[in-house]
Amino acid sequence: MDKELVESIVRDVLGNLEKSESSSKSRNGNGLTARDYPMGEKSKDKVKTPSGHTLDDIQFKKVVSGETPGSELRITAETLNHQAEIARSVDREQFAKNLERAAELTKVGDERVLEIYNALRPYRSTKQEMLAIADELENEYGAVINANFIREAADVYEKRKRLKGDR
């Protein structure tokens, strides 16, 4: 695959997404700024495990022994959205958007994320298959930002002849 082509497609999709995401931004409004970074040190109270425990509740020996499941070490959507707010406070808008997309994907299982990733590679899916993935993300997981991203990618792939069957 031509690296420059892939980079160009991603730039097009991201550029178009910036225009469409402005109305659906998820801004927490918690007042988090660069002074709260790194959150694990400066805003510990805002970092929680998936079951709601604090960082202080997590002990290495309990994770190793199995008393605390490894799933408790996963980042949460809430923490990613807090990080997005911090990124936005230092004018890192694109990074903030990436974190918001990641926050949405915390609801999707790892295996499914990898399947979707592979399906979004050029020539792997038809436009209809890509739109079905977008609908799944929006309707089953509430991942509206990602769904819009994939719909935009489907349009770009169609325009650039990068859909399954275009070779």
pLDDT in tens, 37-83: 999 999 999 999 999 999 999 999 999 999 999 999 999 999 999 99
162 is in which domain, residue-wise?
1-24+109-167
With CA atoms as reference, report the closest residue to 27 among 73, 81, 68.
Answer: 81
- Residue ending a domain, among 106, 130, 156, is 106
Question: CA distances (Å), 118 to each of 101, 125, 148, in order?
Answer: 17, 9, 18
Residue 152 CA to residue 157 CA, distance in Å, equals 9
Q: Within this chain, do residues 80 and 137 fall inside the same structural domain, yes or no? A: no
Q: Which long-range contacts (CB under 8 A, 24 or more apart) does 50-58 make?
A: 50/74, 50/76
With CA atoms as reference, report the closest residue to 17 among 162, 160, 158, 147.
Answer: 147
**How many domains in the chain?**
2
Q: Within this chain, do residues 79 and 129 fall inside the same structural domain, yes or no? A: no
Per-residue pLDDT of the chain in tens (167 residues, 90 and over written 9): 677 777 777 666 666 655 544 433 444 468 999 999 999 999 999 999 999 999 999 999 999 999 999 999 999 999 999 999 999 999 999 999 999 999 999 999 999 999 999 999 999 999 999 999 999 999 999 999 999 999 999 999 999 999 999 99
- Residue ending a domain, among 84, 106, 128, is 106
Q: Within this chain, do residues 13 and 38 fall inside the same structural domain, yes or no? A: no
Residue 99 CA to residue 90 CA, distance in Å, equals 14
Q: Within this chain, do residues 142 and 91 fall inside the same structural domain, yes or no? A: no
Q: Within this chain, do residues 90 and 114 fall inside the same structural domain, yes or no? A: no
Q: Within this chain, do residues 114 and 101 fall inside the same structural domain, yes or no? A: no
Identify residue 7 by its one-letter amino acid code: E
Q: Within this chain, do residues 42 and 76 fall inside the same structural domain, yes or no? A: yes
Q: Within this chain, do residues 99 and 84 fall inside the same structural domain, yes or no? A: yes
